[in-house]
Amino acid sequence: MNSHSAFFYGTLMARQVLYRVCYGKSNIADDPIASLRAANLTIQPAILYDHCRHKVSGADYPGMIPQKGESVRGTYVTGLTDADLYRLDLFEGSEYRRDKVKVVLLGDGKDNVAADAEKVDTETYIYIAGDERLEKGEWDFDSFVRDKMPGRWASDSSEEYNGLDDGPDTTGGRGINTDMSNRLQHDAEHTETEKDS
């Protein structure tokens, strides 16, 4: 089994969203197989230089583009499998392209970068759906977690989602109870079944 790494800077920084994409459910506490797979992940803060993160207009999620002199704080995740990358590519869709980048690890969890900070090669998702769709200013992760994530991006209860689908889809088809979410869950279950055989 190959092990991969990735730098996440948006919705996938939330473990519940990452778990839903990779394992088919946001809450893995009662799933011994998903819990075992998640135990192989390491997640730590990192910074990607010469890139900028913006909110995508009309969406809950950001897009990141190269921009000299700017930086993006996110999470560096190791222990991802080939199957995880497949599902992550599906989740990101045609708005993003997976590219190789070099990030600086933040061992202390703060934005202070030591002169001898470790730099690692990894991959990330660059926004390619057009700069005109990106709003000025920074996308706010804390606001996403507080206001957008519950019931829309991460939940194992379809009842929590009731009433949220009356307006426009601000998840870009990536939210819970969408065709993509159902496909990710089916794929995750199928992958687990194959491993058990």
For 130-140, the pLDDT digits (tens) are: 999 999 989 99
Quote the tokens at residue 99.
Answer: 């590219």
Q: Do the beta carbons of residue 60 and residue 148 sit within 8 Å?
A: yes
- Average pLDDT of the chain is 83
Domain span including residue 86: 4-190
- What are φ and ψ of residue 30, in 5° steps? -95, 10
| pLDDT above 50 (res 193) | no
Let me know if residue 197 belongs to a domain: no
pLDDT (0 to 100) of residue 27? 86
pLDDT (0 to 100) of residue 24? 85
Question: Tokens 């997976």 map to which residue?
Answer: 98
- What are φ and ψ of residue 11, in 5° steps? -60, -30
Let me know if residue 144 belongs to a domain: yes
Please report, as a single letter, which amino acid is at residue 37.
R
Confidence of residue 110 (pLDDT cuts 50, 70, 90): low
Confidence of residue 197 (pLDDT cuts 50, 70, 90): very low
Confidence of residue 169 (pLDDT cuts 50, 70, 90): low
Mean pLDDT on 43-55: 96
Task: Please report, for the domain that includes residue 106, its CATH number.
Answer: 3.10.490.10
The sign one gets for the Cα dihedral 102, 45, 125, 48 is negative
Let me know if residue 195 belongs to a domain: no
Please report, as a single letter, which amino acid is at residue 48.
L
- What are φ and ψ of residue 49, in 5° steps? -90, 160
Number of domains in the chain: 1
- Answer yes or no: pTM beyond 0.85: no
Let me know if residue 196 belongs to a domain: no
DSSP H or E segment with residue 35: helix 32-38
Among 6-15, 28-37, 185-194, the range scoring the smallest mean pLDDT is 185-194
pLDDT (0 to 100) of residue 174? 63
Let me know if residue 86 belongs to a domain: yes
